[in-house]
Chain A
Amino acid sequence: MTESPQATRAFRQAGLLVGAGLIVEAITSQFVHPNAFVSFLALGAGLVGAGIARYLWAIMRLRGASQR
């Protein structure tokens, strides 16, 4: 896969999103409270999901570009 600023940025964005989501998940998992549960789902899992989607999107675009 070719190295381009866009591809590098996409990986870094995905990493940041997933990393932020994991930190939220780790913190909220220390508490047993509805607020922690909602934060875990809405914020933590949401950020992780967005990061994974960004990563998969970047992979697919890179693969498409390399095939062309």
Chain B
Amino acid sequence: MASTPQVLAAIVLVTLFLIAVVMRRPPLGTRSTLGNHATAFAAIAALPILVTWFGFENHLEGSKSTSFCLSCHVMEPYGESLWIDDEDGHVPATHFQNKRVPQEQACFVCHTQYTMFGDLQAKIQGMRHLYVYYFGTVPETIELYQPYQNRECLFCHAGARVFEQSELHAEMRAELEANETSCLECHGPAHDIENLADLERWSGVLSHD
């Protein structure tokens, strides 16, 4: 089945053909008929708006990918931390290496907010990141907009056997749900960028790109 970029390219080709027709025979004078105006409107306004909208959606979807996030060099250490060789210690590495999150959307899955407008908010923040990266000053230390919320962890882990059967989790359940105690107090530091240089890397079967 054709991918979205291929479909977009096909619609663009059709639109370019229609634009060529309109440019050669503009709907003026004796050619000022309803049909010719409809063709001009479709070629110069309706179809381009459609292509732009779907293209924008396609780029937004692509911006969820791990490779998209890691293509900015300020994110490279965070990408590198996904390869730390520590099966139980480093949360991002164990999630990524054991496919507890989809590897192609690893950053997005953990860093979006699981609220009604969480996806939208993540996309708006992503646009802001792009703006800062290209036109602003990237801060030396990358920080989250707000402390990491347990809600994001519990979205997957609540109800999961490995989480539910832990007595400690059961005892602390209310605190965890209220975000009074962060999951990272026991399971952190998350990316551990400060110690990255001293940590071993796992070079397993996954492609390291």
Take A26-B12, A37-B59, A38-B134 as given contacts and tell me if A12 and B23 are in contact as well, using a CB distance cutoff of 8 Å: yes
**A12-38 Cβ-contact flags toward B at 8 Å (1 or 0):** 101110110111011011101110111
Smallest distance from the beta carbon of A67 to chain B beta carbons, Å? 14
B155, CB-defined interface residue at 8 Å: no
B interface secondary structure, majority: helix
B28–A4 touching, CB < 8 Å: yes
B124, CB-defined interface residue at 8 Å: no
A3–B43 touching, CB < 8 Å: no
Take A7-B28, A22-B51 as given contacts and tell me if A15 and B44 are in contact as well, using a CB distance cutoff of 8 Å: yes
Interface size counted on chain B using CB atoms at 8 A: 40
Provide a sorted-by-A list of 26 A–B residue pairs whose CB atoms are within 8 angstroms.
A1-B29, A4-B28, A8-B28, A11-B27, A18-B15, A18-B43, A18-B44, A19-B19, A22-B15, A22-B48, A22-B51, A23-B12, A23-B16, A29-B5, A32-B62, A33-B71, A34-B68, A34-B71, A40-B56, A40-B59, A45-B56, A48-B52, A51-B48, A52-B44, A52-B49, A62-B28
